[in-house]
Structure 1
């Protein structure tokens, strides 16, 4: 899985490091969640007709390695791509992609969640890429958005209609939870020295 807030920039030409393409085995699946993909009016209109530049570069990189794009879903700047090795394709069923807006009371797609769910060798999996409210003092709003997505994001049919009905849920993205009250220097030194216990009490998650 990859999660990356790309801050409206275009994709790099070389994704070798990001996707660990030098691994001779290669993963069975690639699930790529991006946030803040550029979605200006002209670009977004173009992307609804043609694949956006990020999707294009991932497809052109992975297709020669026998990966197939199984599904994708986009909500303005949120993008989720699901690739699998060709050999696994016959064992994927019940693919659905959907999204839930949380930005500006659900009317604007600048924040929210995009999801792909499927049956993989009989196991129901759900992948959810989210971008929640930013800024230090919006921790409770982030929790509200998490609960809103859990409640409102629904799939068609009786087989695992809700997020929590799946055997495995992978929830990732730019969740924007922060470590309060500590400066960046202190946080970095704790991480470098692996003194994580000093950070837990101030971790909004």
Structure 2
């Protein structure tokens, strides 16, 4: 969050199962259109009783399109390729969402599947492996990559796409080094860490459809296209015996949802010298609650809980559609120093920020000028 917040990214949600972590960040402009967020996890270690292996996922609606991100850590070692497939299928079968139209992972229009999938390079000896890698001839190893081999016989894998492996195998390195394993075990290098994606197949697929690094699907008149722009690793990272794998994608889509469910309007000039006023309006039905709240956020905030102050929404009853509700914030709760801020409406039921006001400036208070205060830090407060 320290790194991404200054770049405009806000933490939306996260899910963790022991060492397996998945965090979703988004830019503020997208947050009102990220809805129906749900996460889950599945253990596969020790016959499903231990979470050192398994999968964690986050699903949500993005401008009306259903997306799912699945992070897996599958069984290790060269001879367990079939077990890895069994674990993957078990995770897909066990991960359920409380959504009538997308109850399982593969029901989503786009699925990104990634993590330490632990597939190895079969057959080749250590000398051939390292010689091919050192000479940058990665293509000589592709046909013995277990995941590539499994795709030829596993129908479910054939629905997933992956960019070319034009980077060094990311496992196994001596820590804080770019040298492959020099320990007594001398583990063979392998592309254990992978990023794949899947667009939900049409009822009838054309035989000549291009399914390399760009793909698309139609949902009535709302098509979506996924294009991979980069697929690589960062060899400078040394804390782990794996090198992190990075991919960037472009999603082109026709938006099904283009308007927020709530609008926020700031009234007058704001400073800590007087109480401040704003209004909110419910534009369409959603699971609103009297536990919803509106936070005051300084530009560059990290997450929904990283507000300067907040006010509860209308507390006697849920506001009706189209009703303009006026709320006041106590001047004693407002920042003393000038800065750029937004108001954000947090939905307790949807567990996300669903609306923002336009950016506005809070003026420096007379108290700040008098006392010569230094810039203050923003801290989240417990509600």
TM-score above 0.5, yes or no: yes
Distance 1:168 1:189, change over 3 A: farther
1:194 corresponds to 2:137 = yes
What's the TM-score once normalised by structure 2's chain length? 0.37
Residue 61, structure 1, aligned to residue 3, structure 2: yes
1:10-89 map, 5 Å: 59-89=1-31
Count of paired positions:
146
* Aligned-pair Cα RMSD in Å: 1.5
Provide the rounded CA distance (Å) in 1 between the counterparts of 2:33 and 2:130. Answer: 44
Unpaired stretches in structure 2, ≥5 consecutive residues: 148-383
Relative to total residues, which structure has the larger strand share, 1 or 2?
2
- The answer on 1:157 being equivalent to 2:99 is yes
Partner Cα separation in structure 2 for residue 124 and residue 185 of structure 1? 46
Deviation at 1:195, TM superposition (A): 5.3
Which whole-Å CA distance do the structure 1 matches of 2:130 and 2:109 have between them? Answer: 36
1:189 CA displacement: 3.7
Q: 1:106 aligns with which of 34, 48, 56?
A: 48
Q: CA deviation at 1:182?
A: 1.4
Instruction: Identify the residue that residue 130 of structure 1 maps to in structure 2.
Output: 72
Alignment partner of 1:116 is 2:41:
no
Query: Match of 2:116?
Result: 174
For structure 1, the residue ranges without an aligned partner over 5 or more in a row are 1-58
Change (3 A) 1:195 1:109: closer
| Structure with the higher helix share, 1 or 2 | 1
TM-score, length-scaled by structure 1: 0.67
How far did 1:62 drift? 1.2
Q: 1:185 to 1:123 in 2, by over 3 A?
A: farther
Higher Cα Rg, which structure: 2
Task: Identify if the C-alpha distance between structure 1 residues 67 and 200 changes in structure 2 by more than 3 Å, giving closer, same or farther.
Answer: closer
Structure 1 consecutive aligned stretches of length 4 or more whose deviation exceeds 4 Å: none
CA-CA distance at 1:66 after TM superposition? 1.8
Partner SS, residue 97 of structure 2: coil
Q: Secondary structure of the residue that 2:23 maps to in structure 1?
A: strand
Kindly tell me: are residues 200 and 88 of structure 1, through their superposed partners in 2, closer, same or farther at Cα, counting changes over 3 Å? same
Larger RCO: 1 or 2 (CA < 8 Å, sep 6+): 1
1:194 offset after TM fit, Å?
Answer: 3.5
